[in-house]
């Protein structure tokens, strides 16, 4: 009975309860009216090519520039950009909120292009056959030149045309006596160069990294030049220096082919080699003078939709809860000099399509044609999906992947995702990631590593990759490895990937890996799973002590493949390597008939029929409903030609 009655403290408790309820209700009402206020007072502003910044920014009276419009934006506001090409470098000043983000969108699916090129309108003078000169300002930073939106190359040797960017024969080969810091080639003495400003692009030593270096001294008698390598290699011997690749640029005497250019910063003189006379035929010569068409730092809750970029890119630094969708970029970046491997303090920062921060989302991004990185993403809980990236990293350096996914230095970041992307035609790796608990899933990757040696289509390294999953990817037509957990990798899960027409399949250095249910189509040499077991090397940059024995705790199970090879002693523990099936010659022939003849998708249904027919199920679990790669086409035809 006493339970039905209040004790002497009950009135006090009831008063406290009423006060708490009032405070909670008060907060709910304030939040409700905040949402009503935001919804009611958020505004729309418009930008159009025929607008004016003296207008009010309405649909009928739009602003003229995007920069002027975005300065008017606050939480919940939307900037609609009407059809047109805008030569602007736009910096976004304000953040939105989670409930009311700031949005910058193309209006009604209009074609909106942020354009980074400046036309050259000064007078041309013919100085010799097919070579024309004009005078610009001194000390301009000219790194990329176009004619009617078609790229010219800076004068170089050996010559290069745009259709040959993946032709390795367009690089010169170092000759026998070459070694670190000195390069020999018998044709150097015939080039008649000044050499004082000449640069060398060097794909040297291990040939999975590339550098530019100024030429220090030319030796005409020996037809050689010296350069300051200025990079600490891990392990190397003299032999690899004999087959290095390089080209020269930065000298007027290299201007000898149609669609080449040269700029002298000290005089302002700008030269082109053209079989078309710019004086009479009105060539539209343009140079890149905007790096970032869209830029922001330290912002949150921004939506960018339907904005395209030609000759410029976007950069979002320390930004969170950003959403980019349906944006396309052509020639987004070009870096003439590659000095990012110099010692700290001597480096120049590269221009990169980049997002740093957390909880950002990129969907349906199309990006093509850059000599370095496709896109770099750094932070945690970021997502890039249903995107297409191709023809990037012409110089072939591991530093410049199709997609670079990084954690922030000295932080345990990760949980980033790359899924349903299509990446092809890259100079080195398609995906290079670091950081814990990343997911690399259902991507379609092919024709990679076109400008280097010793690479993999998907690459990671160091214990920082712990807990990451590489799952359900289709990887094919690669001249090296498909998937690599490189030096000191730890705790990788590599699952359900399908690999064909690659030189080698999968390699996992380090320990604590799970490699299961993958299909590696190939013979004993090419359809291989490589398992290193020897002691890890000691490297100067490593912070983790090397293992005495690799892969003592790794598992390799239920893979369908051409062979398993060990680097040193085999692992005989059947509790660690089990259920794997080796493809015989008859099965390999049948599998190859199932492969697509072009770069189209492999049909899962055909593969599952093969497994069942050959009594190979459950190896290589394949989900019939899983979608691999992007589900749209990036043709670039809507951009200016």
pLDDT digits (tens, 9 = 90+) for 503-542: 999 999 999 999 999 999 999 999 999 999 999 988 877 8
Dihedral-angle region of residue 423 (phi above 0 means left; psi in -120 to 50 means alpha; beta otherwise): beta
- pLDDT for the residue 5: 33
Range 499-538 burial, b when 16+ CB lie within 10 A, else e:
bbbbebbbbbbbbbbbbbbbbbbbeeebbbbbbbbeebee
> 276 and 335: one domain?
no
Dihedral-angle region of residue 381 (phi above 0 means left; psi in -120 to 50 means alpha; beta otherwise): left
> 530 and 394: one domain?
yes
Domain-embedded: residue 296? no
At 604 the three-state DSSP class reads helix
> 527 and 591: one domain?
yes
Asked if residue 285 has pLDDT above 90, the reply is yes
Q: Are 338 and 359 in contact (CB under 8 A)?
A: no
> 495 and 594: one domain?
yes
> 384 and 242: one domain?
no
pLDDT band at 25 (very low <50, low <70, confident <90, very high): low
Mean pLDDT is highest, among 9-23, 195-209, 214-228, for 214-228
> 565 and 485: one domain?
yes
pLDDT band at 398 (very low <50, low <70, confident <90, very high): very high
Asked if residue 601 has pLDDT above 80, the reply is no
- pLDDT for the residue 297: 98
- pLDDT for the residue 619: 46
- pLDDT for the residue 31: 54
Domain-embedded: residue 473? yes
Distance CA 387, CA 375 (A): 11
Backbone dihedral angles phi then psi of residue 32, each to the nearest 5 degrees: -60, -50
Backbone dihedral angles phi then psi of residue 614, each to the nearest 5 degrees: -95, 15
Mean pLDDT is highest, among 228-232, 407-411, 630-634, for 630-634
The lowest-confidence range among 93-97, 147-151, 554-558, 597-601 is 597-601
pLDDT band at 39 (very low <50, low <70, confident <90, very high): very low
pLDDT band at 18 (very low <50, low <70, confident <90, very high): low
**263 CB-side CA count, 13 A:** 21
- pLDDT for the residue 8: 42
The lowest-confidence range among 10-24, 78-92, 101-115 is 10-24
Mean pLDDT over 54-79 rounds to 98
> 366 and 281: one domain?
no
Q: How many CB atoms lie within 10 A of CB 605?
A: 9
Dihedral-angle region of residue 180 (phi above 0 means left; psi in -120 to 50 means alpha; beta otherwise): beta
CA 355, 379, 494, 428 dihedral sign is positive
* Tally of domains within the chain: 2
Domain-embedded: residue 4? no
- pLDDT for the residue 572: 83
Q: How far apart are the first and last CA of the chain?
A: 89
Domain-embedded: residue 351? yes
> 280 and 335: one domain?
no
The pLDDT tens digits of the residues spanning 316-328 come to 999 999 999 999 9
Distance CA 460, CA 480 (A): 15
- pLDDT for the residue 573: 82
Q: For the chain, what's the residue count?
A: 641
Domain-embedded: residue 362? yes
> 509 and 603: one domain?
yes
Domain-embedded: residue 231? yes
Q: Are 417 and 445 in contact (CB under 8 A)?
A: no
Domain that holds residue 472: 331-613
Asked if residue 16 has pLDDT above 70, the reply is no
- pLDDT for the residue 7: 44
> 254 and 350: one domain?
no
**Residue 467 class from Cβ within 10 Å (0-12 exposed, 13-18 middle, 19+ buried)?**
middle
Domain-embedded: residue 25? no
Average predicted confidence (pLDDT) for the chain: 89
Distance CA 60, CA 51 (A): 9
Residue (of 142, 408, 383, 390) closest to 249 by Cα position: 142
- pLDDT for the residue 578: 93
Domain-embedded: residue 368? yes
Backbone dihedral angles phi then psi of residue 150, each to the nearest 5 degrees: -105, 130
Distance CA 314, CA 306 (A): 13
Q: Are 22 and 15 in contact (CB under 8 A)?
A: no
Distance CA 122, CA 135 (A): 7
Beta strands in 472-620 (DSSP E): 474-485, 493-495, 498-508, 514-516, 519-521, 528-532, 555-557, 560-561, 563-567, 577-578, 581-582
> 280 and 364: one domain?
no
Asked if residue 384 has pLDDT above 80, the reply is yes
The lowest-confidence range among 11-20, 382-391, 473-482 is 11-20
> 391 and 273: one domain?
no
Mean pLDDT over 162-178 rounds to 94
pLDDT band at 548 (very low <50, low <70, confident <90, very high): very high
């Amino acid at each position: 009975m006493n339970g039905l009655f209040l004790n002497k403290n009950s009135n006090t408790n009831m008063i406290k309860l009423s006060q708490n309820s009032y405070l909670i209700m008060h907060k709910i009402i304030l939040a409700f009216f905040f949402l009503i206020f935001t919804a009611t007072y958020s505004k729309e502003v418009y930008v159009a090519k025929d607008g004016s910044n003296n207008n009010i920014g309405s649909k009928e009276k739009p602003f003229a520039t995007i920069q002027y419009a975005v300065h008017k934006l606050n939480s919940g506001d939307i900037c609609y950009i009407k059809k047109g090409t805008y030569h602007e470098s736009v910096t976004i000043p304000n953040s939105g909120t989670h409930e009311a983000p700031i949005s910058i969108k193309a209006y009604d699916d209009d074609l909106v292009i942020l354009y980074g090129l400046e036309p050259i309108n000064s007078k041309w003078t013919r100085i010799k056959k097919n070579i024309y000169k004009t005078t610009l300002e001194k000390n301009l930073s000219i790194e990329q030149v176009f004619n009617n939106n078609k790229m010219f190359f800076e004068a170089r040797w050996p010559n290069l045309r745009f259709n040959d960017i993946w032709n390795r024969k367009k690089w010169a080969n170092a000759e026998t006596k070459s070694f670190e810091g000195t390069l020999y080639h018998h044709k150097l003495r015939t080039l008649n160069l000044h050499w004082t400003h000449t640069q060398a692009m060097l794909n040297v030593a291990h040939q999975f990294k590339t550098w530019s270096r100024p030429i220090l001294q030319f030796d005409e008698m020996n037809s050689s030049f010296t350069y300051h390598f200025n990079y600490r290699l891990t392990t190397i011997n003299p032999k690899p220096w004999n087959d290095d690749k390089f080209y020269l640029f930065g000298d007027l005497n290299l201007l000898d082919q149609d669609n080449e250019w040269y700029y002298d910063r000290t005089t302002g003189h700008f030269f082109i080699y053209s079989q078309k006379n710019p004086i009479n035929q009105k060539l539209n010569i343009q140079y890149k003078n905007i790096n970032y068409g869209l830029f922001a730092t330290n912002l949150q809750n921004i939506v960018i939709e339907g904005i395209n970029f030609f000759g410029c890119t976007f950069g979002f630094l320390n930004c969170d809860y950003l959403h980019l969708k349906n944006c396309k970029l052509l020639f987004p970046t070009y870096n003439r000099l590659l000095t990012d491997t110099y010692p700290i303090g001597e480096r120049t920062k590269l221009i990169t399509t980049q997002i740093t921060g957390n909880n950002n989302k990129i969907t349906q991004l199309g990006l093509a044609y850059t000599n370095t990185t496709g896109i770099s993403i750094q932070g945690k809980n970021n997502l890039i999906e249903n995107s297409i990236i191709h023809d990037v990293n012409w110089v072939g350096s591991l530093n410049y992947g199709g997609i670079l996914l990084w954690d922030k230095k000295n932080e345990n970041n990760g949980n980033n995702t790359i899924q349903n992307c299509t990446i092809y035609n890259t100079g080195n790796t398609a995906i290079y990631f670091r950081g814990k608990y990343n997911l690399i899933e259902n991507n379609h990757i092919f024709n990679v590593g076109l400008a280097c040696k010793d690479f993999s289509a998907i690459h990671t390294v160091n214990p920082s990759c712990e807990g990451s999953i590489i799952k359900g990817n289709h990887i094919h037509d690669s001249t090296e490895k498909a998937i690599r957990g490189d030096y000191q990798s730890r705790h990788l899960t590599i699952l359900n990937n399908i690999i064909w027409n690659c030189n080698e399949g999968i390699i996992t250095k380090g320990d604590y890996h799970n490699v299961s249910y993958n299909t590696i189509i190939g013979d004993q040499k090419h359809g291989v799973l490589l398992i290193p077991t020897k002691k890890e090397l000691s490297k100067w940059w490593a912070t983790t002590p090397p293992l005495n024995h690799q892969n003592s705790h790794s598992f390799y199970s239920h893979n369908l493949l051409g062979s398993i090879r060990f680097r040193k002693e085999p692992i005989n523990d059947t509790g660690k390597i089990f259920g794997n099936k080796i493809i015989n010659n008859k099965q390999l022939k049948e599998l190859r008939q199932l492969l697509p003849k072009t770069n189209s998708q492999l049909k899962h249904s055909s593969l599952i029929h093969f497994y069942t027919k050959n009594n190979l199920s459950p190896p290589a679990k394949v989900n019939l409903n899983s979608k691999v790669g992007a589900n749209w086409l990036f043709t670039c035809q809507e951009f200016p030609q």
